[in-house]
Chains A and B, each alone.
Chain A
Amino acid sequence: MKRSLFFAVIMTMVTLSAFAQSKMSNRTKIIANSVDKIHPDKAPSRATVKTVNSVEFVTVFVRFNGNIDRSLIEKYGGQVRAEYTSISTITANVPLASLEALASEQSIAYIEASQKTRTKMNLARSASNAQKVFDGVSPLPHSFKGNGVIVGVVDQEIQVSHINFWNEDKTRYRIKAFWNQNKSGSGGCGYTYGMFYTDSASILAAGYDFSSMESGHATHVTGIAAGADHSLNYYGMAGEADIVITSTTGEDADLTDGAQFISHYADSVGKPCVINISMGGELGPHDGTDLCSSVLAGLVKPGNVIIGAAGNSGSVNVHLGKDFTPEDSIAGTFIELMYEWWMPYALMEAWGEAGNDFEFAIVAYSPSGDSIFYSTPFFRASQDTSFRYRANVTGTRPVKFSADIASGINPLNNKPNIAVEYEMDDVSSSFKIGVLLRSDSGHVDLWCNDYCSAFTDNGYADRGWLSGDDAMSIGEGIAISKKVVAVASYVNKAESYDSTKGDISYFSSRGPSADGRQKPEIAAPGEGITSSLPDKLYYSYGNEYTTYNGKKYYYGSMSGTSMACPYVTGVVATWLEANPNLDYDDLIDIFEHTAMKDNFTGSDLPDYTWGYGKIDAYEGLLYILGNPEGVENSSDHQIVALYPNPVVDQFTIGFAADDNNVIVSVFDISGRQIMSTTLGNISAGEERSFSLAAPAGIYTVRIAGAKQTKCYKIVKQ
């Protein structure tokens, strides 16, 4: 009997262990099995393991069957680091000894240990050929690291004293100005709030924007764009650029003040600048007419460009678009609250077309009876009003919620629109809360905030309910602007089981804009990017560090279009070194002619996932410098003739075809622009002559028009 019981216990333990192990990746199994063997000093070579208060923690991805259950992680003494709701996955620090027990829980689908990302930034640089730009690979005349360019960053959570913000040999501190809007002060530099620091000593003395930080976002972002610390190979794109930082409050009006400050600073020192904004919102018209978008567009000019993160709403059904006709005049969808237990809110905005009104109502639906048993009145979008609606129905079918509603026609785009702040109080789980849209004509777009809500058909598509999608999910306010480059994220190295190297990141927001413009414009590596982190993080398990003058400086990995954005910012800084007059349209031209296409992007670009493709730092630079190899495939027809060549005092360009917005630029062998003339519209057969007052040597002439671009090498005698 005892023997039977013994075997039964043993078999149960073996079965449970096997059950648990079947839900762990092979590498995770090895880590779990070596619980008694791992020495903290050697752990970093195998996994992200750290010892805290004598307990070894391993950083893991945990995928749940169904909803994420944070309490399960806490039950085993772990801590949740981040949630990826759309794929029911979290990252967490879990005690190594509890890994197997956690895996045996019914609600756990899979556990995968996080990997070290030692060479990730290096891999990212290679993926976009940025390394060739730093190395000055022929035919480049020298390396390009953003020399003479301002990299501006408007963000939050910066350690301005990080070693990554000095130059490579640590002889020059590169942050030239720092505006901390989050610190009370009397302002400066023409602004009346926050604290300004405009010399190295005061910036270094300030050290940080916050005394403690959640993620160190700005430190990470700035490191990708312009870090120069080579000690761990995590340096960024433009390590010679000067840096200007605005730590913003997060309100868009303050953010645009911060961008304007950077732009003014660049003007004051006579340098071109590229401003990185890895922030965004969800609600608004998504057509670039909101004032934040308009203001940013107004800051862009030759030599002053803005790069924005496309957003992380990919794979989340934050949008629903509907075309109405008299025969198809009503549409319904359900509101899915992702964190109903602690954030029972949905913020929604519905925007129609100018001249086409529509109506909006919130309803409660009974699936068992296939009936709408409660409805608010229909609110007319064109009616200029606002009020607080309260539903309070008791009894067998209780419905209790509040909704703040405002509507009217927006004078900036003449579109009727309704904004709703919905807060659920008490609705039986047997019922579903939905939204109805009603109109006889025109198109209506409905958006919600992606961090806590989505639109779903709840499995009742056959009854006419609609599900949302992730189209038109580009971040509102920044990336949606008509003159801001929106950057999508792709996987440069598979970070986990649901990432495919080379493919678009599942979270990367999709275009187009609501007015049909191309968004995003370009894609860059944005997953598992390692860069600088502040030393004031709440949690810093697994982060590496380098030591300089006895002080530790940290590095760690983050993902998001936030990380892809500064990648492009840094690349553009190297391009501005070659041509300090680039503007938004120039960047689009460069993307169009040089961005990488592959099996993942397909050849039919631009599209609303990849934009013009994956950024190619090297080919883009060659294109700017006018290297024939760089533009070989870009011009299909001989549209101009340039003569004489060699040039004595002047040269003439003859145009064989009509073109618009033509600009002729001349660059020296080092890539410096020495002449630029705007010709405007050109007719076929027209000729223009140009004086070339420059020393003898080899020069590149770039003739760029709306229809065609051509580059020529010329010899000046």
Chain B
Amino acid sequence: MKKLLVALFCMMTVSVFACNAKSSKKVEPLPESLPTTAWFSNQFKIFWGDFVYEFNNSGKSLKKFKPSKELVDFYALAKDGKNYVITGYIQTQGKNFDAEAVRTMGITVNEMITDVYSFRCPLCLLPDFVKVKGVKSFEAGKKLERLHK
């Protein structure tokens, strides 16, 4: 029980400070192209393009970067506390994907069906997340509407 509590505390701490840890790095522009090690949905690619464009022109670190209203309105961004997270799905290569390692990074992944996970990734961790090993494909989430008239 004690070990479990310690593990939970560690995970929460990592999650809370994940973005902060990145802030100590030198601010460098993000690459416009995505890694070739995985497939990305078209919506993901368009989001990445807009995200990188905004970030590279913001002059801010990933920690301090705030997405524009347009970016929030257009894409599957949800607010989690003070941070924005991008949501979506990943299809993994099974054993080659280490879900716990990804969680330790501060990214939420939840296995929905075999080898398919939903994800909630803080924007500051997205450049690292797209390079995670064992992921076959990234699909950006969609904004859904309430279907009343």
Contacts and interface: CB of A to CB of B under 8 A. Distances in A.
A311 B43 CA distance: 21
A251 B120 CA distance: 10
Contacts of A559: 148-149
B144 A84 contact: no
B145 A257 contact: no
A638 B81 CA distance: 64
A715 B7 CA distance: 60
B27 interface: no
Interface in A171-222: 181, 184, 186, 190-193, 215, 217, 220
A567 to B, nearest CB: 13
A590 to B, nearest CB: 24
Name which of B110, B144, B145 has the most chain A CB atoms within 10 A of its CB.
B144
A419 B113 contact: no
Contacts of A68: none
B147 A309 contact: yes
Name which of A254, A410, A475 has the most chain B CB atoms within 10 A of its CB.
A254
Interface residues of A, number: 71
A523 to B, nearest CB: 15
Interface stretch (A267-275, A289-297, A597-605): A289-297
Contacts of A441: none
Interface stretch (A118-126, A280-288, A540-548): A280-288
Interface stretch (B48-56, B59-67, B94-102, B127-135): B48-56
Nearest to A312: B147
A278 B149 CA distance: 12
Q: Is the interface of A mostly helix, strand, loop or mixed?
A: mixed
B81 A451 contact: no
Given A251-B87, A251-B141, A386-B42, A217 B146 contact: yes
B58 to A, nearest CB: 16
A409 to B, nearest CB: 9
A515 B148 CA distance: 27
A323 interface: no
B23 interface: no
Contacts of B146: 155-157, 215, 217, 278-279, 562
Interface residues of B, number: 42
B88 A280 contact: no
Contacts of B116: 291, 294-295, 298
B112 A560 contact: no
Interface of B: 12, 15, 39, 41-43, 45-46, 48-50, 53, 74, 76-78, 80-81, 87-89, 91, 108, 110, 112-113, 116, 118-120, 136-137, 139, 141-149
24 contacts: A82-B149, A156-B146, A192-B15, A192-B108, A250-B144, A251-B141, A252-B141, A253-B118, A254-B87, A254-B141, A255-B144, A257-B110, A260-B112, A291-B89, A294-B113, A309-B147, A386-B42, A386-B45, A421-B74, A451-B145, A475-B147, A478-B144, A558-B148, A558-B149
Interface of A: 82, 84, 155-157, 181, 184, 186, 190-193, 215, 217, 220, 249-257, 260, 278-281, 283-284, 290-292, 294-295, 298-299, 309, 311-312, 349, 385-388, 404-408, 410-412, 417-419, 421, 451, 475-478, 507, 558-563, 565
